[in-house]
Each structure stands twice: as structure tokens, then as C-alpha cells.
Chains A and B, each alone.
Chain A
Amino acid sequence: MTFDAVVEVRLRPGIADPQGATIERALPALGFDGVGGVQVGKSIRFTVEAADEAAARSLVDDLCHRFLTNPVIEDSVVTLTAAAVA
């Protein structure tokens, strides 16, 4: 089966996020009041071939831990969906 994977990489709680803080500080000057808690991460999209969703998730979790995130400062949220059959 083919799965579409979206990995959202985020800074772990407690790790300073200078990009998020800078964006948040700029918001009032642009007239956006009431916006807070800005966090900047990245999203990585790819497809995975695997026997089933559990196998796909195991592969992507391993990929996240060993390569796509640095566990010292980042964690990730994985979303898997079965790709539409062409």
C-alpha cells in the first residue's frame, strides 16, 4: 500500500523559538491583535510503501527519530493517510 505521510517537526516544549518570538512581536505593528503562542516548525511530506498502516507508521517513526528531527530540541507529529488509488 502507498501512504501519504506528513511529518510536522516542532521545537520541544521549553526550547526557545526565536523565529516564533520574532513573528509574535511583529504582529501588533501589523494590526493583528489577540494572536499569541506563535511557534515556527517545518512540515515534510512524502509517500511510503508499506504492507499496512502499522508498518508505515513504524518506518516513519524510525525515520523521524534518526533523521528528520533532532530529539534534543525537536519532536514530531506524523499523519498518515492511504493514498488515493489512481
Chain B
Amino acid sequence: MARHVAVIRFPGTNCEFDVVEAVTAEGATAEIVFHDATSLGAADAVVVAGGFAHGDYLRPGAIARFSPVMEAVAAFAADGGPVVGICNGFQVLTEAHLLPGALQKNAGLKFRCGMVDLRVDSSDSVLTSGAAEGQLLRIPINHFEGNYTCSPGTLAELRDQDRVVLRYVDNPNGSVDDIAGICNEGRNVVGLMPHPERAISELLGSDDGRVLLRSFLAA
């Protein structure tokens, strides 16, 4: 399972080195791929890292979506390749229509930063396959626009198809149905607001992110 991970960086991305560190610690190799790249090279997994791509101007992810690299990511996803978008990366994936719905400003207009409890509600995705359904994970969040929103029709579809993979135990941002992370129909593209790459050691307060990263690297 020696994965080679492409970690996507836009101008304003700031979590790419954390992701490289975290996946490397799990035995994978990784390289940072810039927004203007047209190929993902030899990568067999993709992480769209967090931050503030293009300053979050207009809307988070709205400009990043048109980057050349996103065409390569869309093609990779369409071929079934594992893709995870973390935080701003989740916002980019929704804007790119690789995942449904949108992420709005948090209810109460609070920037939320801290450790939260998540519940694994589906282990049928590239990010959660190694976790048990019902398992609780302590993973930090760090966002202002993490309030997941979608149409009632989309929500019904996500529930019916068991595509809500992670829910907040105590909703920090007002997201519909306590959604913290979802997957696409193929279950190979996952977006989540929490940062598993920041929960890889007890020294950081939790190593619960490792079960997600290990699932992803084994996908």
C-alpha cells in the first residue's frame, strides 16, 4: 500500500505541509502539486488541503475551482481515484461539483477553532473504511465557513445512500443534520471540515485522525 499522495496547493493554502507530514508518518510518500499543474504525475491518491485558496475571495473555493489542476483532480476522481478535501479543500470540492451542497458561514458568525467529537456514521468510503460505524473520534476544527447546507432533495439522497460519513456529536457550526463529512456516489471522494492531519499524535491532543488517514492510504 505504498501510496504516493498529491497534496494540492493553491495560492493561500496553508495546511499542505501538515498533510505531507501526516501521510508520510503513515508510510506514504507525498508531493505538493501547485494549482497550475495540469497533471498529478505518479500520484495514486489526492488530498486537497485546507487554507484560504485565493484568499477565499468571492466565496471559498470559487476561484480555486477554475485552476488547471482541478481538471486533473476531476479526471482522477472520475476514474475512481481516492480524493479527500479537508476544510477549505471540502469547500473547493463542492464548488467544483465533485461533492454536492455548499459550505456557508457558521451559524452565529463564530470562527470555530478547537477539538470536536465526531461520530463515524458510514465506514463505506475511502476515508472511513478502517473505522467502525458509531466510533467516536476527537479531531480539531478550524473554520468560519463550515456550515454544510444543501437542498432537501440532496439531503434525502445523502441519507438514503448512506453518504454522510461523519457527523458532529455537538454541532459547532449549524450544519444541516450535524454533517461534518460526506462522500460522492462512488464513495471515492470525501470532503470534511475537521482536520485529521492535525490529530496524529497524543502530543497534539489526539491521534484519532490516523484511522482516517490509514483508511485513505489503504483505499
Contact = CB atoms under 8 A, between A and B. Distances in A.
B107 A70 contact: no
Nearest to B152: A14
A15 B109 CA distance: 14
Interface string B73-110: 00000000000000000000011000011101111110
Interface in B166-181: 174
Contacts of A22: 109
A15 B62 contact: no
A16 B104 CA distance: 9
A73 interface: yes
Interface in A1-29: 15-16, 18-19, 22
A22 to B, nearest CB: 6
29 contacts: A15-B104, A16-B104, A16-B107, A16-B147, A16-B149, A16-B174, A18-B105, A18-B106, A18-B107, A18-B108, A18-B109, A19-B105, A19-B109, A22-B109, A67-B58, A67-B66, A70-B59, A70-B62, A70-B95, A70-B102, A72-B94, A72-B100, A72-B101, A72-B102, A72-B150, A72-B151, A73-B102, A73-B104, A73-B149
Given A15-B149, A72-B102, A73-B104, 6 more contacts: A18-B174, A67-B62, A67-B66, A70-B59, A72-B149, A73-B102
Interface of A: 15-16, 18-19, 22, 67-68, 70, 72-73
Interface of B: 58-59, 62, 66, 94-95, 100-102, 104-109, 147, 149-151, 174
